[in-house]
Structure 1
Amino acid sequence: MSVHVVCNAAAGQQNAESVLKEYVHKYLDAWKAADRTRVAPTYHSTDPTHGAKQIGAALAREKAPLTLVVLGGDGTVHEALDGMQSVSIPSEIFLVIVPTGTANAMYHALFGTHPGGYAATDPRWRLCALQAFAASKSTQPLSLMRVTMGDTHLSCVVTSHALHAAILRDSESLRASHPGIERFKMAAEQNMVRWTEGELVLEPGTEPVQRYCPSKHTFVPVAALGDYQADQHGTLRIQGPFVYLTAMVVDRLEAAFVPAPFAGPRCEAALRRPSDMVDIVVLRPLRSPVVQKAIAQGDPMDKIHEMYAQGPLAEVFFEGMYKDGAHVSFAYDGDEDVAGEQAGMPVVEYFRAAAYAWRPAPTDPSATTTCVDGTIFHADATSVQVWEGAYVHAWC
């Protein structure tokens, strides 16, 4: 099986080339020396304009199983795999991630907040997958999403709309001055008061559309919940406005930022996302009793948006998503609004579905913004489903 190394020198802190020279060459040279029948790795550098997409397309034309070593972030992994699907996904891809990006969500989903138990200052935290490959340890099958917006793209981490998509869109202008994850927090502050209008359509698969029920600590078919009405086919249509709308096949977007705690491979088996389903995390402000009361009183909408951003949204972000996914248990409690783990109406709607469609409202131009693994698109409609027949395994 051929081994291809893709290095994105521009990713994250721009240290991929030094990591390649200091660590990756040594591991791969030793791997090759251990078995003289092994073919020497082929090295590729990403293109400043097209990233790793052209490399992926070229590799797909070989129509053979391969091992792909990626020095970069989630965007680099996405570009390489997306380039492959634009031609033809190889029968099997074995992925070795050497994280040199900004957030490195997929890597942390596989290895946790502190990979290998190493501190963030210890460079060995980047080498867990490389060590697993060199030692022929185990691989983990990955779920992929097929994202259709006219063209078809592949998503291996997240497809999002509303706040998360706006954060990724606006953070790009901050990349040069703030290459670390702080730029995402800065972009969030610019967009937290925005509400996004549109319709979310959730589709069943072999299992019905489900929502996590905090009081029961399990996923429950929406038909068994009183606040939803699916049609005769099991399709569920949800109206906005939305503040947060993110579909994920991993649990986190940063090492310690966990919007979808049940989506990743490290989750307990009883709650873990099945391979043919997508976890969709939703925040709709009109579910808030405080928001409803303010609207009934005739309070100005800009003040209501600000109140929601500073209240429930901030609590979900900083006391939930940054606290190992605790937000999935938050509930509303009358005028107290967010009241931690309660039996009331969940603050976060955590859905599980086989596919979904996002239909932006024509009256909201910003609702067309869609993020696919960090790449921003503008689409009048988006459909997402689990990618069947894409066999990607990650060394871990």
Structure 2
Amino acid sequence: MGIRPTSEKFPLLVILNPNAGKKNSLDVFTKTIQPALQQADTPYQFIETASKGFAQSYFKDNVRQILIDLVQSLAANPAPGATQPSGVGNEVEATAATTGPPEVVLRIMVIGGDGTVHEVINGVLQGIHGSSDSFVNDNFRPMVELSIIPLGTGNAIATSQGVTTPQAALDRFLGGKSVPLRVVQVSQRDTTPHTTSNTNNSDNTQCTWKPLMYTAVVNSFGLHCATVFDAEGLRSLGNVRFKASALKNIAFLKQYQARVEIFGSVQKYDRLSHQLVTDTSTTINATTSPQQEQQSSVTLTGPFTYLMLSKQSSLEPGFVPTPFANTSDDWLDILAVQNAGRGQILDILGDALKEGMHVKQHEKVEYYKAKVVEIETPTQGRLCVDGEFLDVAAGPEGRVRFEVVSDPNIQLFYLSV
């Protein structure tokens, strides 16, 4: 369905993080981006973040009104041939029962890094679904198109699309093409007892999952998580802080205890055939029972030296830890290295800097594509989720679930390419 039309009179939202990366984002905007937007006759609203968390709070508080304004703008200035909402009621309830959902696209340009993108995504989803009267449904489902100008210390989303400079990102935006940007739902066990009645009219206590956040880049445990955590204290060094932190953690290499369970359909990289192979025993089909779906397809017992769950292939130019990851597919790529020594992990990371050769060459590297992954640690542990840190309790109560959910009311995001 063509959902491209955006009201020409509705502004592009420009979110600029002045503290991202080398702190030159405002200068880049003034000298490069602003003149290009003016030349392209693109109206925009400029929003400068004031602190960490600002972008998330901004969209959480304002996205409803922004979408109301956008729908009203489209209704007043319909694009030729576009399906338009016949009315805007309570909180963008478009009466589209007969005409179909309105074709609405909200464009957001993020000038910063992956951390700012993470805030925007979570703010939008919190603002949309943060109350009982979520207004996104089959009758109204906007497209949120992100254009990322990579000026952060982490620019994995842009880099994975082959975009490494602000000018290249600007050219992609002006080109007008986009692809889905699938997000991963991160959930934790809800320890509140829930009871349901079975066929014998007796109560059963069931565990449910409580969504915590959404990620679009990388979730990790072990060496990568420790590297990012320690690098937070070295921000004055710029991008080199990650290398300095990695060398420190490799010098004092630790192994991290955890249990990783993969559920549902699984693909595994086969080193003999040099390709991903579908494990037919894990394929979900019409005959798969609910009990089978709840059983793990693959279990990794660790200890883990390096564990990464990613939607992006590259974290920085040349460093490709998950080479088969795809921004737009519904799979989560898993890179697992269990109980590797210092020399082994140095070789593995060295080959990851050679466009992902580590997957092909190292027996210690296990690589999967899956739909659902759960991690449990025997003692209190720490996970890195898109650069933020999640402390998890020991045992089943602290179990964390990662899933590329299929809910179209969550998967609203697209990426300029």
Name the TM-score, length of structure 1 as normaliser.
0.76
Please state if 1:210 is matched with 2:267: yes
Aligned residue number for residue 358 of structure 1: 375
Please give the residue correspondences for 1:1-396 in structure 2 after superposition, counting only pairs within 5 Å.
Answer: 1=6, 2-32=11-41, 40-61=43-64, 62-63=66-67, 65-88=105-128, 91-111=142-162, 115=164, 125-136=165-176, 138-149=177-188, 150-176=210-236, 178-180=237-239, 182-192=240-250, 193-204=253-264, 208-222=265-279, 232-233=292-293, 235=296, 236-264=298-326, 275-285=329-339, 308-309=341-342, 311-318=343-350, 320-331=351-362, 346-362=363-379, 365=380, 368-379=381-392, 380-388=398-406, 389=408, 390-396=411-417
Q: Which secondary structure state, in structure 1, belongs to the residue aligned with residue 319 of structure 2?
A: coil
Give TM-score scaled by structure 2 length: 0.72
Note the C-alpha offset of 1:190. Answer: 2.6
**Residues 79-126 of structure 1 deviation map (CA, whole Å, 9 limit, x = unaligned):** 1111111122772111111111013111110125xx4xxxxxxxxx32
Please give the alpha-carbon distance, in whole angstroms, between the structure 1 residues aligned to 2:370 and 2:174.
37
1:222 CA displacement: 4.5
Shift of 1:59: 4.3
1:120 is matched with which residue?
none
Q: 1:157: Cα distance to partner?
A: 0.7
Following superposition, the deviation at residue 68 of structure 1 comes to 0.6
**Cα displacement (A) at 1:210:** 2.0
CA contact (8 A) 1:277 1:354 kept: yes
User: Is the CA contact 1:8–1:45 (under 8 Å) kept in the aligned structure 2?
Assistant: yes
The answer as to whether partners of 2:62 and 2:127 remain within 8 angstroms in 1 is no
Give the C-alpha shift of residue 203 in structure 1. 1.1
Q: Is the 8 A contact 1:104 1:255 kept in 2?
A: no
Aligned residue type for 1:12:
G
What is the CA deviation profile of residues 207-227 of structure 1, one whole-angstrom value per residue up to 9, with x for unaligned ones?
x212101111222245779xx
Distance 1:259 1:370 in 2: 17
The CA deviation string for residues 252-306 of structure 1, in whole angstroms up to 9 with x for no partner, is: 11122110001036xxxxxxxx712110100002xx6xxxxxxxxxxxxxxxxxx
Rg larger in structure: 2
Code of the aligned partner of 1:79: E
Q: How many residues align?
A: 319
Aligned counterparts of 1:49 and 1:75: Cα–Cα separation in 2: 9
RMSD: 2.1
CA distance in 1, matches of 2:400, 2:230: 20
SS at match of 1:164: helix
How much has 1:21 moved relative to structure 2?
0.5
CA shift, 1:357, in A, is 0.7
Distance 1:58 1:29, change over 3 A: farther
Q: Matches of 2:280 and 2:305 in 1, distance apart?
A: 24
In structure 2, how many angstroms separate the alpha carbons of the residues matched to 1:255 and 1:73?
14
CA distance in 2, matches of 1:257, 1:56: 32
**Letter matched to residue 15 of structure 2:** V
| Residue 232 (structure 1) shift | 4.7
Give the drift of 1:198. Answer: 0.9
Change (3 A) 1:159 1:4: same
Q: Residue 202 of structure 1 aligns to a residue in which SS?
A: strand
> Matches of 1:323 and 1:264 in 2, distance apart?
19
Structure 1, unmatched stretches of 5+, are: 33-37, 116-124, 226-230, 266-273, 289-307, 332-345
Deviation at 1:140, TM superposition (A): 1.8
Name the amino acid aligned to 2:29.
Answer: L
AA partner of residue 377 (structure 2): P
Cα distance in 1 for residues equivalent to 2:54 and 2:308 = 24
Task: Supply the AA of the counterpart residue of 1:312.
Answer: Q
Looking at structure 1, the residues matched to 333 and 385 of structure 2 have their Cα atoms a distance apart, in angstroms, of 15
Q: Which has the higher contact order (CA 8 A, sep 6+)?
A: 1
